[in-house]
Amino acid sequence: MLLEIFQALAEQIDDNITMWDDWELHVEPTPFPIAESPNINMFPGDASGSDGTAGFVDLYGGVPISITFRVPSADLTAATAMALAFMDADGDLSILAAIDADRTLGGVVDSIGWDEWPWSRYLDFPVPDGDGILLGSALNIVVLPKAST
């Protein structure tokens, strides 16, 4: 069930983001150590939840998921613009808008929720070859799997 959720989430994000010209976005359903960026991946999140989504986890069996993005930071102005576009609630690069396009992921889950401001602060991710950093952030969501019938 979890891998199917992660795959559906990655596919929906990839299908609903229109990347800027001359950029190729890499979206994967699991963490991956590639040097190619920009990239988006996801992994199981923190089960503690926040006040806004804790009930989804505690009461309804929701699955916390962290979605991270990484953008190249050689040009910090461009990196910041791309990072903010990924974090925006609307727009061609908005990860939230991509998820919001279908909160059931094509019927794979019952629903997806997140807090009013679900993003972490900016995070630095090391470049796999050890030469520099990638700018990024983490989006914490809660997925309610399909109810068993």
Torsion, Cα 90 94 96 102, to 10 degrees, reads 90
Tell me the mean pLDDT in the region 44-57.
Answer: 61
Confidence (pLDDT) at 116: 80
CA-based torsion, 79, 84, 98, 104: positive or negative: positive
29: domain CATH number? 3.30.70
- Residue 52: is its pLDDT beyond 60? no
Question: How many separate domains does the chain show?
Answer: 1
Identify the band that residue 50 occupies on the pLDDT scale cut at 50, 70 and 90.
low
Tell me the mean pLDDT in the region 133-138.
Answer: 92
Where in the sequence is the domain holding 35, given as residue range(s)? 2-145
Token pair for 146 = 């399909």
The answer to whether 5 touches 63, Cβ cutoff 8 Å, is yes
Confidence (pLDDT) at 37: 84
Confidence (pLDDT) at 12: 97
pTM recorded for the entire structure: 0.88
Tell me the mean pLDDT in the region 1-27.
Answer: 95
- The model's pLDDT over 55-104, given as tens digits with 9 standing for 90+, comes to 555 556 788 999 999 999 888 999 999 999 999 999 999 999 999 999 99
